[in-house]
Amino acid sequence: MGLFNSVFRLVASMFGLAQGGTERVTDKMLTSSPDAIRNQFRKTREDWGKDYTEMRDAVAQLCQIRDDKMDELKSLTHVSQDMGDKMQGAIAEYKKSQNEVIKEMYVKYASNKEEAENKIKQLQDEIVDQEKEITIHKTKLQALKTDIENLKKEEAETVADIVSSKKMNELNNKLGLKEEDVQSKNLDAIREARKQIKSSAKLNAEMAGLNSPTADLESKLISSGKATKFLGAFEEATKLVVQPEKVELLASKVD
């Protein structure tokens, strides 16, 4: 009982340390450095791996203690059965010989059988309790193994989340409209200057076009075209023939 209790306390203590290790890891994860995160996950896997090995060894010791008790139980069961057979034999022999020595031997066999059966009952109760504890610890051990296996996936997801969040914050800061952003102000000034230059160039082009010989010729052609169109309509209406030189004269009057 003493050895089993000691091992049991050892296992319980280890599981408690593992849980405390998880809380410590959570506190230390508050960092935005991917390398620091990976390093912390690596250390955690190593620590949990060490805890898992120690707990597995402790559970193995519990199993060994249980197996030893089961072997003792089997041995005592044989003793009990043997004492029972001897008791029956002593009864049969005493009926024949009435020998008092045989009666004393019967009493001894009966005492040994009772002692074996009491011990058997005690061992049976202990084995049942140990089986329950071993099952509980095996479940916790399997859970810790699963947690260790999931750390690799969790590491990748944590690094990705933190890095992507950091990048998004940087982009948001760059895209956000800030009065104190000197670079944005400089770009706005350049854009405004570009608009002014383009407007000025367009105006100059328009002014130059109005004063050019080509513009005058285009104006005369337009006027002549209008006069020809009007005279054509007039000719159609009056059936008169208009001389070309008169068209030029009328065109000049229209101007």
pTM recorded for the entire structure: 0.49
> Got the DSSP string for 62-90?
HHHHHHHHHHHHHHHHHHHHHHHHHHHHH
> What pLDDT is attached to residue 82?
95
CATH architecture of 2-175: Orthogonal Bundle (1.10)
Q: What is the mean pLDDT of residues 65-79?
A: 95
Contacts of 93 (CB under 8 A, 6+ apart): 99, 102
| 8 Å CB contact between 55 and 14 | yes
Instruction: Give all strands (DSSP E) within the chain, no chain letters.
Output: none
| 8 Å CB contact between 37 and 165 | no
**Spatial distance between the Cα atoms of 104 and 94, rounded to a whole number of angstroms:** 10
pLDDT one-digit tens code per residue, 159-218: 777 767 666 666 666 666 554 555 566 667 677 777 777 777 776 666 665 555 555 656
**Spatial distance between the Cα atoms of 159 and 242, rounded to a whole number of angstroms:** 93
**Nearest one of 218, 217, 224 to 252, comparing CA atoms:** 224
3-state helix/strand/coil string of 129-197: HHHHHHHHHHHHHHHHHHHHHHHHHHHHHHHHHHHHHHHHHHHHHHHCCCCCCHHHHHHHHHHHHHHHH
Q: Which residue has the tokens 């350049």?
A: 190
> Where are the domains positioned within the chain?
2-175, 182-254
| 8 Å CB contact between 69 and 123 | yes
How much is the CA Rg of the chain, to the nearest whole Å? 54
Q: How confident is the model at residue 157 (pLDDT cuts 50, 70, 90)?
A: confident
pLDDT one-digit tens code per residue, 5-52: 544 454 455 545 445 554 554 555 455 577 777 788 888 888 998 999
**Spatial distance between the Cα atoms of 46 and 167, rounded to a whole number of angstroms:** 30
Longest dimension (CA), the chain: 177
> What pLDDT is attached to residue 199?
75
Q: What would the two tokens of residue 220 be?
A: 């005369």
**Nearest one of 28, 17, 26 to 50, comparing CA atoms:** 17
**Spatial distance between the Cα atoms of 187 and 16, rounded to a whole number of angstroms:** 61
Instruction: Give the number of other CB atoms < 10 A from CB of residue 88.
Output: 12
